Structure 1
Amino acid sequence: MTSGHPGRRLAQLLPGERLVEIDDSRTPIPEDRPRRLAAVLRGFIAEPAP
């Protein structure tokens, strides 16, 4: 059985998906940790498509 965390559950169910947790953040992350979010997004965009 998996955790009740919906993001973790989706990452397990969808092929090729992953969950990135941004430490020390609250909602909304773009306001709380914008530099960290931008770094994660840049890494994602730079990856080749599967």
Structure 2
Amino acid sequence: MLAGTQRQQEIIALAAAGLTNRQIAARLVMSVRTVEGTCLRIPARWGQLS
């Protein structure tokens, strides 16, 4: 797996498993906006185009 924080890796794994942002937020006890923001920023941090 690509480098990133443990939380980013958890979000990626859950998104890859098909969970919605709302489901990910509930599972990880965070806001939906935090999940959405993380999903938007991850590709940029890893040098990929979003």
- TM-score (normalised: structure 1): 0.30
| Higher percent of residues as helix | 2
Q: Identify the structure with bigger relative contact order (alpha carbons < 8 Å, sequence gap 6+).
A: 2
TM-score normalised by length of structure 2: 0.30
